[in-house]
Each structure stands twice: as C-alpha cells, then as structure tokens.
Structure 1
Amino acid sequence: MNGSSLQTYAAECAEELPGARLEHPFGPDWEVFKVGGKVFMLMTSVPGRPVVILKSEPGEAEALRETHTDVTPGYHMNKKHWITLEAGDSIDKKLVKELVTESYRLVVGNLPRSDQPVDPETYGAHAGAARR
C-alpha cells in the first residue's frame, strides 16, 4: 500500500464511523478525525512522508511495532498510547481498517456514556482486534 492510498483508505474507514468528524485544528497539513470532541486519528505528510497516527492499547502498540516494520511510535504523540502507520508491505487494508476502528473504540470508551455514539465494547467486534 502506498502513502496516498494508505491515507485515503484510512480516511474512508474513519468517515464510516458513527459521530466521526474531520477537522483541521493544526492547519491544512493535518487532518484530524475526532469523535465526541476527542482525537482518534491524525493524518499528515509533515514528517516527509504520508503517515496515519492512531490510538492503541500500550501492549498492542508494542506488539504491532515488533511485528510490522511500517508501524512506529506515534509521531508527535505519546509513544506508549499512539502508533504511526507508514506505507509499506507490512500494511494492508484489513489491518488499516482494524486499527482505525480500534482507535475509535478506545476513544469512544473514554467518553461519558451519554456522549458515546456506539457501545465501545461491541462496536466493530466482529472485525476483531488488530491481528499480530
């Protein structure tokens, strides 16, 4: 998957999620997807290549970085809780969709129940967690 198709597909996945909104709070070079006012995905080419930045459980983030050469610590984010996806052979559409959905679920799970557009425990569960 190349960089522009990675970002295009990640954006398509994010736009399908209930309550997801695209904003540009950091200027035109950053696309920021939020749910309930909280960030779950960022996209930019600021580091010199197209990247997608997603929230991840710390243990899962570490496992992903160990098994996928194109997954690195979150660019300009907390390295323990965020990952960066770069275009490459270890990234495919299925993994992108799973990681975007999981990032969304993690953020929704931290919103007050009245602000949750979906049940974070069951939404997207059919897709499963990101595979190692």
Structure 2
Amino acid sequence: MPFGGEDLQDTARATAGALPRVTRGRPFTEHLDVYKVAGKVFLIVTEDPDDLIMTVKAEPEYGRLLRASHPSVVPGRYLDKRHWISVGVGRGVTADLVTDLVDHSYRLVLDTVPRGRGPR
C-alpha cells in the first residue's frame, strides 16, 4: 500500500505525541498544527488537504542531502530555509524516514534548551 499524505501526517503526529513533554497548539493559524518542546517549535503539520506536508528542523548539511535525494523534500516553509525542511509524499519518503525526521528535529531543538528547562 502506498504511503500517502495523511499517512505522513499521522506518522508525524504519532511520533511527536509519544515524545516527552511535547505540547501541541495552533498559535499561528488554524491550518498549522504546531508541536513544541520546552516552548520551542520542532514540528509543523499543515492542515491544508491540498498540501499534506510536515516541516521539521534539520542540520543544514543533512537537509541538503535530503533535498538532493528526495524531490518531495524542500527548504522549510514558514521558517529559516537553512535549518528547516518541509517534507511531502514522494519517492523514498517512508514512515521510518518521517519518524526519524521528527525524532531528529525534537532532539535538535531539545539540545538548545538550557538544562533544567526541558525533559532529559
């Protein structure tokens, strides 16, 4: 069975929801599901049915590699294009990759949180 846009988003939401001390809200617009740890964004899921994507933080070199190898991975929408990527359905985008990207983003953001302020 193909991995579709709703699958991508469901996998991203489930992965984020299983991580410690994650909060979810819609601080920017009703069409953006925003996940944070210690008050910092690590995942955005777009609610537009015509644009089923997620946006996550990635180390710049890793983001470049992903964009080069996956046509549906593009510079991050809404955020700094160097440190964020947006991911849609496409060749090579699997549930495992989505899970890894959400987890990686969470850990990158958590690393910027001062000790004692975030889950450790």
TM-score by length of 1: 0.85
Q: Which amino acid aligns with 2:31?
A: D
Equivalent in 42, 45, 49 of residue 43 of structure 1 = 45
Unaligned runs of 5+ in 1: 119-132
Q: Which amino acid aligns with 2:59?
A: E
Q: Is residue 2:44 matched to residue 1:62?
A: no
1:27 deviation in Å?
Answer: 2.6
Unaligned runs of 5+ in 2: none
- After superposition, what is the alpha-carbon deviation per residue over 1:66-124, rounded to whole angstroms, capped at 9, x for unaligned? 11111110012111000001012320011111100000000000001111202xxxxxx
SS at the partner of 1:4?
Answer: helix
| Mean CA deviation greater in 41-50 or 99-108 | 41-50
Identity within the alignment, %: 37
Q: Which amino acid aligns with 1:10?
A: A
Equivalent in 57, 76, 83 of residue 78 of structure 2 = 76
C-alpha RMSD over aligned residues: 1.3
Detail structure 1 runs of 4+ shifted over 6 Å in the superposition.
Answer: none
SS at the partner of 2:116?
Answer: helix
Q: Which amino acid aligns with 1:62?
A: R
- After superposition, what is the alpha-carbon deviation per residue over 1:1-47, rounded to whole angstroms, capped at 9, x for unaligned? 21111101100000000011111102321100000000000011449
Give the whole-Å Cα distance in 2 for the aligned partners of 1:71 and 1:34. 21
